A and B are shown apart, each in its own frame.
Chain A
Amino acid sequence: MLSWRIFSTRHNRIVFWAVLFLFVVAAIVLSLWTGSVALSPVQVFDVLIGKDTSSTAARIVFYSRLPRTCAALLAGAALAVAGTVIQTVLHNPLASPGVIGVNSGAGFAVAISCAAVPAAQQYAPLVALCGALIAILLVTGLSWHTGASRITVVLAGVAISALFGAGIDAVVTLVPDALDGVTDFRVGGFTGVTIAQLIPAGSLILVCLGAVVSLARLMDILGLGSDTARSLGLSVGAVRFILLFLAAVLAGAAVSFCGLIGFVGLIVPNTMRRLLGEGSLGLTVASALGGAFFVTICDVLARVLFSPFELPVGIILAFAGAPFFLWLLLRQKGVRA
């Protein structure tokens, strides 16, 4: 990978981090500012610093824009970091949270709960998180049992995904009423996310992000291959298990409040790897910032492009992300991978 050619020198790296940071700040500002009701930047600012706490503008910011912005930031960071970890652990740039069964596990849990108790739709985030965790435990448990070889993890993930995917279809076929909840979940998005929903999932995400950053050095060693890593004193199986579990919790927590917006976990880590190289600490932090920026800005686009209609954010993510990523690939043609 030719990452170093783009941001190799110290000077370039400083530029890279500054630009990334500015992008995130800009995305936050835009996300708070834009929406179906026009608010001036001054109004938003007044609300944020606590000068205005009672007007309609304040309510819009507190109950709609702020939760939505936080949700997009958290989901973006969580999914991108989950992707980074999974790709590093499995030595496979194609891996993403979906590979280890997170999405289908969460989806299946939502489908079951919507079918059994239609009123339970408001608890979908919690249910989805539980489903994701169950899928993760199954996949990691299975692969742990067989020595956590990276191919076993992928295969177990694919098998579990297929199982839960069939489960979703079966539930929807047998109980058509469950369809609404499942469709909402499958399309994904940040409409109607409340702070109350965000707090449990958000704190989980922040804790796991911290944990992944603190384990970055272990990821570096793991990336050298099992024999070398073990001869350097790393307990490869255990570290692999812990990292996969953290990644799965990250993705599961994100999926729980925003539904399936999977593309981020694949594209952001690969982009950052190409721009920055493979030092795990830098890659993790860059992926978190990049994911937060990318999802937030796409959510803004989803709101403003066809206003007052809103597009599902997943569509924007794919339309904006895929061409960029293809351009990045083309730029590096003829370069040894």
Chain B
Amino acid sequence: MIQLRNLSAGYSGKPVIEKVTMEFEPGKVTVLVGPNGSGKSTLLKAALGLLPAMEGEVMYEGINIRLLKRKQIAKKAAFLTQSRNTPSIRALQMVLHGRFPYLSYPRYYSKEDYETARQAMKTTGSLPYENTNVTQLSGGQRQGVYLAMALAQDTQAVFMDEPTTYLDISHQFKLMQTARSLALEGKAVVLILHDISLALREGDYIGVFQEGKLLCFDTPDSIYQKGIIEQVFGVSIHRMDTPHGIQYYCTPKEEGNALFPHVR
């Protein structure tokens, strides 16, 4: 549903990502991985129209993003940002902000807006604290509220920039479950993850970035077969068939630790 064609984008005239071509399909979880500074976040922002394309184009259901107004984009794709402000308001009020693209003057929330917001909170499991102030929630609970806000936007595509960072393992798993259920609803889900094992296990497609280029865009299995992870991150990756499905795990490269040679 979202196609990037030959897309270059960046800051102050300098491209951070160059000539990226990929497609985010409905019903699939796409995971972007890559070392820090490889251009994953920049790609998300460009795909959302938050950064203008320097070259190439972003197509939403066949329409060039340049022709869409910001509010129209907001009805097609939601964005869970990595860093954000935490205003001192009730969680439900926060989630209702996700209905903003649908409001017209005088911008009062309708009954349907409340219903959509509550439904979104139910999906992310944050309904129990709908009346709690956001500043009082734990990191994991807060992430659920922010995700609910993105879901309240009721979009066909959901982008998340490192949604599992700073979350404990149980909240990480919950978040990935939510991501999967969104895909099952037919949404295109795009995530940036740093945890390679998690990415390979949960993603339908993996996009591996290195120095602003999309090195490989394929299924986890072929990414593993081609040895891309080893090449990009300089680690060894292993696959194991377990009773809980195929699991991947990384270990330091065999020839020793380049940074700290005395460590074995």
**Residue ranges of A at the interface with B (Cβ–Cβ < 8 Å):** 1-4, 8, 91, 214, 217-218, 220-221, 223-225, 227-228, 230-235, 273, 277-279, 336
Measured between beta carbons, the chain A residues less than 8 angstroms from B69 are 233
Distance in Å: Cβ of B47 to nearest Cβ of chain A: 11
Do A228 and B81 have beta carbons less than 8 Å apart?
Answer: yes
Residue among B70, B85, B90, B100 making CB contact with A217, cutoff 8 Å? B100
CB-CB under 8 A from A223, the residues of chain B are 85, 87
- Bound complex: CA A221 to CA B72 (Å): 16
Q: Which of these, A225, A227, A234, contacts B100 with CB under 8 Å?
A: A234
B75 partner residues in chain A, CB cutoff 8 A: 233
* Most A CB within 10 A of own CB, among B78, B90, B103, B133: B133
Residues of B within 8 A of A217 (CB): 100, 103, 107
Contact residue among A1, A91, A230 (Cβ-Cβ distance under 8 Å from B70): A230
- The size of the chain B interface, using a CB distance under 8 A, is 34
B74 lies within 8 A of chain A by Cβ: yes
One digit per residue, 1 when the CB lies within 8 angstroms of any chain A CB and 0 when it does not, for chain B 67-103 equals 0011111110111010111011110010001101101
Closest A residue to B73 by beta carbon equals A233
Would you call B88 and A231 a contact (CB within 8 A)? no
Complex CA distance for A223 and B98, rounded to whole angstroms: 13
**A224 adjacent to B50 (CB under 8 Å):** no
**B135 CB–A CB distance under 8 Å:** yes
Q: Whole-angstrom distance between the alpha carbons of A220 and B98 in the complex?
A: 11
Give the residue of A232, A234, A279, A336 whose beta carbon is less than 8 angstroms from that of B93: A279
CB atoms of B106 and A214 under 8 A apart: yes
Question: Could you list 21 A-B pairs, sorted by A, with CB under 8 Å?
Answer: A3-B133, A4-B136, A91-B85, A220-B87, A221-B97, A224-B97, A225-B81, A227-B45, A227-B84, A228-B81, A230-B50, A231-B48, A231-B74, A231-B77, A233-B74, A233-B75, A277-B90, A277-B133, A278-B87, A279-B89, A279-B93
On chain A, the residues within 8 Å of B135 by CB distance are: 1-2, 336
- B153 interface residue, CB < 8 Å from A? yes
A220 to B85, CA, bound (A): 11
B147 to chain A, nearest CB (A): 12
- State the CA gap A285–B77 with chains docked (Å): 34
CB <8 Å contact, B97 and A220: yes
CA distance A223 to B88 in the complex (A): 10
Which residues from chain A contact B48 at a C-beta distance below 8 Å?
231
CB neighbours of B79 from chain A (8 A)? 227-228, 231
Interchain CB contact under 8 A, A277 and B89: yes
The contact of B85 among A2, A225, A233, by CB within 8 Å, is: A225
Please list the residues of chain B having a beta carbon within 8 angstroms of any beta carbon in chain A. 45, 48, 50, 69-75, 77-79, 81, 83-85, 87-90, 93, 97-98, 100-101, 103, 105-107, 133, 135-136, 153
A77 → chain B, closest Cβ, in Å?
21
B70 touches A233 (CB 8 A): yes
Chain A binding surface, main DSSP class:
loop
Question: Which residues of the other chain, B, contact A278 by a CB distance below 8 angstroms?
Answer: 87-89
Q: Is the CB of B101 within 8 A of A232?
A: yes
List of B residues within 8 angstroms of A224 by Cβ: 84-85, 87, 97
Evaluate contact between B83 and A225: CB separation under 8 angstroms.
Answer: yes
- Further 5 A-B residue pairs, CB within 8 A, beyond A2-B135, A231-B74: A2-B88, A221-B97, A231-B81, A233-B72, A234-B70
Bound-state CA distance A1–B97 (Å) is 20
Cα separation A235 to B50 with both chains bound (whole Å): 10
A3: chain B residues within 8 A (beta carbon): 88, 133
Query: Are A233 and B97 in contact (CB-based, < 8 A)?
Result: no
- Shortest Cβ gap from B138 to chain A (Å): 12
Bound Cα distance from A3 to B135, whole angstroms = 10
Residue in chain A with minimal CB distance to B101: A233
**Which residue of chain B is the closest to A215 with respect to CB atoms?**
B107
Known: A214-B106, A234-B70, A336-B135. A273 touches B101 (CB 8 A): no
Q: Which residues of A contact B153 (CB under 8 A)?
A: 232
Residues of A within 8 A of B70 (CB): 230, 233-235
| Bound complex: CA A295 to CA B74 (Å) | 43
Q: What residues of B have a CB within 8 angstroms of the CB of A2 in the complex?
A: 88, 135
Nearest B residue to A235, CB-CB: B70
Quote the shortest CB–CB distance from B71 to chain A (angstroms): 4
The 4 closest A-B pairs by CB, nearest first: A233-B74, A231-B79, A233-B71, A233-B101
A218 and B98 CA atoms in complex are apart in Å by: 12
- Among residues of B, the one whose C-beta sits closest to the C-beta of A232 is B100
**Contact B88–A277 (Cβ < 8 Å):** yes
Query: Which residues from chain B contact A234 at a C-beta distance below 8 Å?
Result: 70, 100
Q: How far is the CB of B94 from chain A (nearest CB, A)?
A: 8
**Distance (whole angstroms) from the CB of A180 to the closest CB of chain B:** 46
B175 to chain A, nearest CB (A): 17
Q: How far is the CA of A223 from the CA of B18 in the complex (A)?
A: 32
Output the nearest chain A residue to B72 by Cβ-Cβ distance: A233
Of B78, B84, B105, which contacts A225 at CB under 8 A?
Answer: B84
Nearest CB in chain A: distance from B54 CB, A: 17
Q: Which residues of A contact B106 (CB under 8 A)?
A: 214
Residue of A nearest to B74 (CB): A233
